[in-house]
Amino acid sequence: MGSPVTREPSLLVRALRGEKTERAPFWFMRQAGRYLPEYRALRAEVPDFIGFCLDPARAAEVTLQPIRRFGMDGAILFADILLVPYALGLEVSFKEGVGPQLAVVRTRADVEQLAGQTATSADRLAPVYETVTRVRGALPDACGLIGFAGSPWTVATYMVEGGGGHDFIEVRRFARRDPGTFGLLIDVLVEATIAYLDRQIVAGADAVQLFDTWAGILAADEFDRWCIAPTRRIVEAIRARHPTVPVIGFPRGAGTSLLRYAGETGIDAVGLDAGVAPSWAALALPGRVALQGNLDPILMTVGGEPMLAAARAILAAWRDRAFVFNLGHGITPDVPIENVAALSRIIQDWRRPDRPA
Ligand code: CP3
């Protein structure tokens, strides 16, 4: 049912599908955001962050802003992982300096109420699909458009904690104490996420990423059930509907569980955080999985030779792999624009030694 693919696959999509491309495509997590004055100007017009995400004209514009400045090979849809709980009918708000706040989900009754919402939740995000279509229409063909969602585990952490957590006691205790009910919550999120990503792809997304920002807080014996299994269900459903659209999984902080994640979820590409040595990833992760990452984002605030040397080390370590250059986590608001420009240039100038183009 997917939209017909008429364009040549972009450099980004080729790399995500496992091709050792002549140069490495790049994009940066949180590339649209407060480090850009043009983002801050548009954001100031809409005080409510959810309203901003659901405003297709503005969301499309901020998606395009970093591409115009730096020429990334991938644009990431401007939206947020907390739009899925919002679409399920949960109260979600963003407070300046506090971060996200959500109505808490902790009881069987809370979860059952959400379960009644899955059938229509994807429709409530119709403005997001309009943003996707607008961005795809405005982007150069050579630039890939990445849709995204949070992984069920990470989205559940915000729902159970009622916001961002520090030690995540509530969600970890819920999963241990009542895995049946917690599993129902994960099921609700799996279904909602499949529907949401499917609609993004139909609207024009060329690849999708699942952000599992809090994968790293799972105990090893919980990782399969709450991270790998839900991810595999989403990947299988998306692949069945859209076999040529790559799925990127980003299990931040997964540590040694990365091996099972890369081997068992079926993802096309694995996003790596800065805790993973590039040389280890090159040797240890399965060859059929493309790598994405993983410059330490703090280096973007330092700039100069420390940043450039670390970037060169990644490019050298992955010269024999299919990969996409990215950061290990998102750009922070304090990053100087000239550092983003300098980093972009050295990635754009790199050529794979055996494939000079
Ligand atoms: O450029 C892009 O990356 C595209 C848009 C995007 C946003 N959030 C916009 C945003 C993406 C891909 C996300 C994902 C997201 N959202 C994640 C996963 C990635 C990660 O960083 O680990 C998470 C955990 C969230 C939840 C979230 N959204 C938090 C915790 C916050 C508040 C923290 C903060 O930086 O203020 C947000 C708000 C948010 N989402 C902002 C942006 C640009 C800042 C809000 C603002 O402009 O006022």
Token pair of 306, please?
């420390």
Across the beta sheet with 290-295, the strand order is: 74-76, 144-150, 207-212, 247-251, 269-271, 290-295, 323-327
Has residue 165 got a pLDDT over 90? no
- DSSP string covering 49-104, please? HHHHHT-HHHHHHHHHHHHHHH--SEEE-S--TTHHHHHTT--EEEETTTEEEE--
User: 187 catalytic, yes or no?
Assistant: no
All structural domains of the chain with their residue ranges: 11-349
Token pair of 239, please?
């692949």
Has residue 177 got a pLDDT over 50? yes
CA-nearest residue for atom 39, ligand 1, is 80
pLDDT the model gives residue 3: 53
Strand positions, DSSP E, 92-153 = 92-95, 99-102, 144-150
List, for residues 261-271, the tens digit of each pLDDT value: 999 999 999 99
CA-nearest residue for atom 24, ligand 1, is 213
pLDDT the model gives residue 293: 97
CA-nearest residue for atom 9, ligand 1, is 80
pLDDT the model gives residue 356: 63
Nearest to 323 by CA among 15, 17, 110: 15
CA-nearest residue for atom 18, ligand 1, is 211
**d(C-alpha 155, C-alpha 90), whole Å:** 12
Q: Which single residue is written with the structure tokens 């659209």? A: 245
Instruction: State CA 132 to chain mean position distance.
Output: 15
Candidates 35, 39, 55, 80; catalytic one: 80
CA-nearest residue for atom 10, ligand 1, is 80
CA distances, 239 to each of 36, 47, 166 (Å): 35, 37, 35
Has residue 248 got a pLDDT over 50? yes
User: 34 catalytic, yes or no?
Assistant: yes
Nearest to 159 by CA among 96, 101, 76, 233: 101
Tell me whether strands 92-95 and 99-102 are parallel, antiparallel or unpaired. Answer: antiparallel
Rg (CA), the chain: 19
List, for residues 84-143, the tens digit of each pLDDT value: 999 999 999 998 888 999 999 999 999 999 999 988 888 999 999 999 999 999 999 999
List, for residues 26-42, the tens digit of each pLDDT value: 999 999 999 999 999 99
CA distances, 320 to each of 84, 202, 307 (Å): 38, 33, 22
User: 110 catalytic, yes or no?
Assistant: no
Has residue 245 got a pLDDT over 60? yes
Using the mean position of ligand 1's atoms as its centre, give its distance from the Cα of residue 50 in Å: 11
pLDDT the model gives residue 316: 98
Candidates 17, 43, 319, 351; catalytic one: 43
- Helices 56-70 and 337-349: angle between axes, nearest 10 degrees: 60
Has residue 1 got a pLDDT over 60? no
Is the bond preceding 294 in cis, omega lying within 30 degrees of 0? yes
Using the mean position of ligand 1's atoms as its centre, give its distance from the Cα of residue 21 in Å: 30
**d(C-alpha 61, C-alpha 51), whole Å:** 15
Global confidence as pTM: 0.96
CA-nearest residue for atom 34, ligand 1, is 99
Candidates 30, 124, 225, 351; catalytic one: 30
- What is the mean pLDDT of the segment spanning 305-329? 98
- DSSP string covering 158-203, please? HHHHTB--SS-HHHHHHHHH-HHHHHHHHHHHHHHHHHHHHHHHHH
Strand partners, 148: 209
Which of the residue ranges 57-66, 90-99, 244-253, 301-310 would you say has the lowest mean pLDDT?
90-99
According to DSSP, residue 26 is labeled: B
pLDDT over 70, % of the chain: 98
Tell me whether strands 290-295 and 323-327 are parallel, antiparallel or unpaired. Answer: parallel
pLDDT the model gives residue 118: 87
Has residue 6 got a pLDDT over 60? yes
* Ligand 1, residues at Cβ distance < 6 Å: 29-34, 43, 49, 76, 78, 80-82, 94, 99-100, 148, 164, 211, 213, 330
**d(C-alpha 298, C-alpha 304), whole Å:** 12
Using the mean position of ligand 1's atoms as its centre, give its distance from the Cα of residue 244 in Å: 27
Give me the architecture of the 11-349 domain, per CATH: Alpha-Beta Barrel (3.20)
Candidates 35, 39, 129, 158; catalytic one: 158
Using the mean position of ligand 1's atoms as its centre, give its distance from the Cα of residue 54 in Å: 14
